[in-house]
Chain A
Amino acid sequence: MRDWRIKRKLTAILLLISGLVLSLTSAAFVTYEVVTNRETIKIHLATRSRILAANSTAALAFANETDAKEMLAALRFDPHMVAAALYDRDGRVLATYPVAASADLVPAAPQPDGYRFEGGRLVGFTPVAQGANQRLGTLYIASDTKAVSDALRLSGIVAIVVLAIALLAAYALATALQGRISAPILALAETATAASTRQDYSLRAPKFGEDELGTLTDAFNQMLGRIEEQKKELQQHATRLEQRVAERTRELEKRAAELLAANNELDAFAYSVSHDLRAPLRSIDGFSQVLLEDYATQLGDGGRDSLHRVRAASQRMATLIDDLLKLARVTRAEMRTERVDLSAIARDIVVDIQRAAPDHTVEFAVSPGLEAQGDSRLLRVVLDNLLRNGWKYSSKRPHARVEFHALDENGERVFVVKDNGAGFDMRYADKLFGVFQRLHSAAEFEGTGVGLATVRRIISRHGGRIWAEGVVDQGATFYFTL
């Protein structure tokens, strides 16, 4: 019943209710009919008994059996009469009806006065008396209860016919009237299904009246309206968002194009520097050497010294240009990220350094198995700069030592390059990584001040950090993460 269609449910409920009411009514009707009939035949029997009893006084008083029989025989005109008997004062049977009545039809002795239903019959014992209190005997009469069962059958048939007609009428009415309730609900359900399957929120459910279902329909339609509005708003938002994304994309594309152009310009600039800036230096150095070779005697000591300085300066400038180009290249170079064995690279560099200056005795300690994710060529530049720095600044020590190892700080891998060389004053630590910034004179330690700037740029391109600690004359330690 739970999953029945609402039409069927309504019809079923209506039929159930009317069926129940009609059944109860019919039962009451039938019961009334039966009870009434029983009372009626009781009264009839009593009346007939009293008349017969009044007529029987003479026959009993004189114990006249013939008269008594004759009188009882008159009962044959009533087909309902089953049996009758007259008892004398002592309870002996004087006469019976029918004449030879069997023992089960007529009781052997009179029973208490009164009328009652017994074994499908109505039996009655009536006193026969002369005057007010001289009892002569007892009259017994039994009648069948056919009148009652006839009434029961008739009223039953009537009740069933009425019930059937009434249920039919109820069914017809229910079918016709349930539409009043189910139609708006069905329409609502249909609209809801259509709206949700087609996602068409412009649909509206038809309204049938101003009752609760009408209110429900109104509320539902309002809800659809609101959903429709919100959908429109959402669509507008989405459109605006798309426009903004497109705008941003255009901006970004423009910015990227600008960056590309700037990068290309930088490329062209670096290319030009590489080609054109060195050429005049070559002339300066070359012709100074020509002068030194061809006119040495005319120049004198002062002249030769000046030309040596000119040559030294032009060569230093060439180194500067090269270092700057390296810095620019580090910035432009495409990154190819891979697993890099830093220990192996460090060992390579150490071999290079030691081969280039075999008379410098600097002890290198490179921890094995140090690995990182990054661009191997750029990381080689980092280690080359840091290890060469360590080597350079500790070269004046009797027991120079440069270490490369790593430690884990707060779950982060920190690589360390440490030397026991000249160190630096922590007050100037922030200047270490600036381009052309130096903490030592060229006379003390040669250099251009580009190396650490290059290192920092590479580290930041890897998304890492670099910092340094130092104490004057006790060494410097560089830390970096990747």
Chain B
Amino acid sequence: MNAGKILLVEDNPDDVALTMRALKSHNITNDVIVAQDGVEAIDYLFGTKGRPAPTDLPAVVLLDLKLPKINGMEVLQRIRADERTRLLPVVILTSSDEERDIIDGYSLGANSYVRKPVDFVEFTKAAQQLGLYWLLMNRTPPPPRGP
């Protein structure tokens, strides 16, 4: 059982910095791995030619929807399509509160949908709650047996 890492898929460096700060300020010390676009996220989870996939999956993926190259919905689809990551907890963390995005996200198997508040105080609260919930309270499924 992994101590718990967070895979933050976010292309906006400001949002990355603010998210990191929010998590840190609430003593959530877990490693945060940042993927700046969909391709990076996929490469991290499934490995590339140069680098193999990690032995431990993150405890949770915080997934932005609007990403360069491969967007968040497609990343989610790929995660759910693969046997190794089928049960990986994915939280959509986005600016959008379009109904369509919420429905699509849940349809593709997202575990949660959180809208980023503009108010940083609110944002910090949200990040803290997410960290606490997914890293400490939530029980992740056991890793699938390798081939």
Contact = CB atoms under 8 A, between A and B. Distances in A.
A322 B96 CA distance: 10
B123 A274 contact: no
Contacts of B121: 289
A285 interface: yes
Contact of A287 (B14, B65, B116): B14
B106 interface: no
Contacts of A318: 118-119
A interface secondary structure, majority: helix
B74 interface: no
A433 B66 CA distance: 34
B15 A282 contact: yes
Contact of B12 (A270, A274, A279, A329): A279
Given A274-B95, A274-B96, A275-B94, A285 B65 contact: no
Interface string A246-289: 00000000000000000000000011001110110111011111
Contact of B123 (A275, A282, A322, A329): A282
A288 B21 CA distance: 13
B53 interface: no
A437 interface: no
A282 B116 CA distance: 8
A228 B98 CA distance: 64
Contacts of B117: 282
Contacts of B65: 275
Contacts of A26: none
A234 interface: no
Given A282-B123, A285-B119, A271 B96 contact: yes
B118 A278 contact: yes
A274 B116 CA distance: 11
A164 interface: no
Interface string A328-340: 0100000000000
Contacts of B18: 282-283, 286-287, 290
Interface residues of A, number: 22
Contacts of A270: 98
A18 interface: no
B119 A276 contact: no
B133 interface: no
B115 to A, nearest CB: 9
A314 B118 contact: yes
Given A275-B65, A276-B66, A279-B12, A286 B120 contact: yes
Contact of A274 (B15, B97, B119, B120): B97
Interface in B1-26: 12, 14-15, 18, 21
Contact of A281 (B96, B97, B118): B118
B15 to A, nearest CB: 7
A354 interface: no
B118 A271 contact: no
A198 to B, nearest CB: 62
Interface string B74-115: 000000000000000000001111110000000000000000
A290 B118 CA distance: 14
A23 interface: no
B120 to A, nearest CB: 4
A226 B123 CA distance: 85
Contacts of A37: none
A315 interface: yes
Contacts of B66: 275-276
Contacts of B95: 274-276, 278-279, 282
B14 A271 contact: no
B120 A285 contact: yes
B14 A283 contact: yes
Contacts of B99: 329
Contacts of A285: 118-120
A279 B15 contact: yes
Contacts of A286: 14, 18, 120, 123
Interface string B104-147: 00000000000011111101000000000000000000000000
Interface of A: 270-271, 274-276, 278-279, 281-283, 285-290, 311, 314-315, 318, 322, 329
Given A271-B98, A275-B65, A282-B117, 17 more contacts: A274-B96, A274-B98, A275-B94, A276-B95, A279-B12, A279-B95, A281-B118, A282-B14, A282-B116, A282-B123, A283-B12, A286-B14, A286-B18, A286-B120, A287-B14, A287-B18, A289-B121
11 contacts: A271-B98, A275-B66, A276-B95, A278-B116, A279-B12, A281-B118, A282-B95, A285-B120, A311-B120, A315-B118, A329-B99
The 4 closest A-B pairs by CB, nearest first: A318-B118, A283-B14, A289-B120, A286-B120
